[in-house]
Amino acid sequence: MTPFEDDLRRELRSLTDNPPPMNSLHEPVIRRARTARIRTIAALSIAATALVATAAFAWPTPGAGPAPIPAAPSASPSALAYAHQLYVHCGIRYANFEGRWWQAVHLGEVPMPGQITNYLVGTMTLVDADHATFRSEHPALSADFIPFVGEPPPCQ
Amino acid sequence: MGGNDRDFSDFVTGAGPALLKSARLLTGDWHLGEDLVQTALVQVYRRWSRHEEWDSPLAYTRATMINTFCTWRRRRWHREVATATPVPPASPDTADRVAASDALARALDRLDRRQRAVIVLRYFDELSVAETAAVLRCPPGTVTSIASRALEKLRREATLELEDRR
């Protein structure tokens, strides 16, 4: 230890000999810490809100897309009614729906044949994997279909 | 006030004056020193729930304060402060002593932050080289080197200051 270091030690003590009266430290410290914590939480909340808003804008959500494809979709969830034009040139016999052929459970004639030419406008509902139902309002009718393997025969 | 806050208040009541004196030497001013101590204590308070895991809350707080002082971006504590207190009129002996003290305070203010931190830790807080190195997170050799340069600068500047006054 050099004399200068001794002097330095003594002078440093003398510089701190007479501290002015100070307020208590812990109260402002706790207050500042709590304020800082509230600010941090608020900033995180704002950031999280912004993140969620950005994600909602950028990512499509189920149900936000376009309406169901109206004509003969290749895949459709069950119990949804799709607009369908049923070919009835030779009666209610076959339908092409969901990318495959269906056969009417009860083959029948089209009512009001004089007013309908080749297609009957209505909806087709996939009730389950092996059951679809066609409905029209004008004329009011309902026809059930089951899958048909192969190509339907030509009108006879 | 919860138990945690009560423990913290007890700690601050006990350690506050010593921390304040160190902070005054670091910043060159009592009020800036108080601000530095408060800023460090805020950081300590946030981690206070784990204080029982610390070897020494005082050592932890001192390290936090030194680190805050050395890295504070606003640099509010690094401005030069002319004198902490006005020099009172006094007898020749007392006048010499006050002049020496004032010269040292000015020289201390001219050190860079790490040099000042080393001087305060080594010669006021009485930490060893190894303890000072742990606070500053640097090798002991670096502390020795910084201390050596700081002492040389203090000696030179304080002597010049006193010679200028005579």
Give pLDDT tens digits for B138-163. Answer: 999 999 999 999 999 988 887 766 56
Distance (Å, whole) CA A27 – CA B135: 26
Interface test with A, best of B1, B6, B9 (most A CBs within 10 A): B9
pLDDT of residue A138: 81
Give the pLDDT confidence of A83-104 residue by residue, as tens digits.
888 888 778 888 888 888 899 9
For chain A, the residue count is 156
Amino acid at B110: R
* Residue A18 CB neighbours (<10 A): 9
Contact A19 B30 (CB under 8 A): yes
Helix (H) or strand (E) holding A90: none
The Cα of B83 is separated from the nearest Cα of chain A by a number of Å equal to 10
Contact A15 B24 (CB under 8 A): yes
User: Is residue B122 exposed (0-12), middle (13-18) or buried (19+ Cβ within 10 Å)?
Assistant: buried
Average pLDDT over residues A112-133: 80
Buried b (16+ CB within 10 A) or exposed e, B12-21: beebbebbbb
pLDDT of residue A55: 61
Interchain CB contacts (distance < 8 Å): A and B = 76
For chain B, the residue count is 166
Distance (Å, whole) CA A145 – CA A101: 9
pLDDT bin (cut points 50, 70, 90) of residue B94 is low
Half-sphere exposure of A29 (CA within 13 A, CB side): 27
Quote the distance between the C-alpha of residue B50 and its chain's center.
25
Angle among Cα B21, B24, B27 to the nearest 5 degrees reads 150
CA distances from B157 to B19, B108, B114 (A): 26, 9, 17
The Cα of B51 is separated from the nearest Cα of chain A by a number of Å equal to 16
- Residue B50 DSSP class: G
Would you say A16 and B31 are in contact if contact means Cβ atoms under 8 Å apart? no
> Tokens in use for A87?
């070919």
Q: Report CA Rg, chain A.
A: 40
Would you say B103 and B162 are in contact if contact means Cβ atoms under 8 Å apart? yes
Give the pLDDT confidence of A46-60 residue by residue, as tens digits.
887 777 766 655 444
Give the pLDDT confidence of B18-42 residue by residue, as tens digits.
999 999 999 988 888 888 999 899 8
Would you say A146 and A139 are in contact if contact means Cβ atoms under 8 Å apart? no
Angle among Cα A6, B68, A22 to the nearest 5 degrees reads 70
Distance (Å, whole) CA B69 – CA B148: 21
What's phi and psi for B42, nearest 5 deg?
-60, -45
- Residue B54 DSSP class: S
Contact B151 A5 (CB under 8 A): yes
Which of B:8-27 have CB within 8 Å of A?
8-9, 12-13, 16-17, 20-21, 24-25
C-alpha closest to that of A94 among A154, A18, A21, A32 = A154
* Residue A94 CB neighbours (<10 A): 21
> Tokens in use for A64?
């936000």
Quote the strand ranges of chain B, DSSP E.
none
Interface test with A, best of B32, B48, B101 (most A CBs within 10 A): B101
Contact B34 A30 (CB under 8 A): no
Of B17, B45, B104, the CB nearest to A30: B45
Contacts of residue B68 in chain A, CB cutoff 8 Å?
none
C-alpha closest to that of B109 among B71, B64, B150 = B150
